[in-house]
Amino acid sequence: MKVWGIGLGRTGTKSLQQALLQLGLNTVHNPAFYTELLAQDIDGGIEGAVLREFKSLDLRFPDSKFILTSRPLRFWLSSCKKAIEELYPEDRIAPHSEFYEPMIRNRAARYGSVSYDEDTLIQKYYQHHADAVSHFKGRMNQLLIIDVTSASDSWSPLCAFLKKPSPDSPFPCIADR
């Protein structure tokens, strides 16, 4: 069984990856390319190419579990603004850099835009959620929708979904500075 985190960036994807690692699942965060997800030594991935290719991953690995991390819209928008304008501004990466094209692809998949555009972000937020739910219609046992950014106990629903025992430690909270 593979586990794929299909939440948009800024919805607790890094925290989810750390939780999956604590559960013994070797996952990658924000892989740039689909081919990285085909490695035999990983149990899944979160964000990046996973976000763009979740339907293909579902076909290729039909026994997979998918986790759609979510977050209240206003908090997500605030986090996106900070990430796009302060933490990872577009002009910080040179256009000829090997990281420039993956950054553009990831921004298009995550935010629907390279720069901060609130209307586009709102549309992307709702569109992605609806697309994921629609894709798994009739198979909701393969999709967990969870807000790991504000839930007091994210271990319970996650571990029940994955059929894993809950750790005694607090759920990871990884936040960008």
**Domain CATH number, residue 13:** 3.40.50.300
49, part of any domain: yes
Residue 150: predicted pLDDT: 82
175, part of any domain: no
Split into its structural domains, the chain has a count of: 1
Starting at the edge strand found earlier in the chain, the sheet holding 143-146 runs 27-29, 44-46, 3-5, 65-69, 143-146
Identify the three-state secondary structure at position 33: coil
HSE, CB side, 13 Å, CA atoms: give it for residue 48.
21
HSE, CB side, 13 Å, CA atoms: give it for residue 107.
20
Residue 26: predicted pLDDT: 97
Residue 16: predicted pLDDT: 97
171, part of any domain: no
d(CA 144, CA 156): 12
169, part of any domain: no
120, part of any domain: yes
d(CA 21, CA 44): 10
Residue-number span of the structural domain to which 26 is assigned: 3-162
Kindly give the confidence (pLDDT) of every residue in the chain, 177 residues in length, as a single tens digit, with 9 standing for 90 and above.
999 999 999 999 999 999 999 999 999 999 988 999 999 999 999 998 999 999 999 999 999 999 999 999 999 999 999 988 998 887 877 888 887 887 788 788 778 888 899 999 999 999 999 999 999 999 999 999 999 998 678 999 999 999 999 999 999 998 865
60, part of any domain: yes
Residue 134: predicted pLDDT: 98
* C-beta of residue 84 within 8 angstroms of C-beta of residue 104: no
Q: Which helix (H) or strand (E) holds 146?
A: strand 143-146
* C-beta of residue 12 within 8 angstroms of C-beta of residue 69: yes
119, part of any domain: yes
170, part of any domain: no
* C-beta of residue 165 within 8 angstroms of C-beta of residue 71: no
d(CA 119, CA 144): 27
Residue 103: predicted pLDDT: 78
Task: Tell me the pTM.
Answer: 0.92
d(CA 116, CA 120): 8
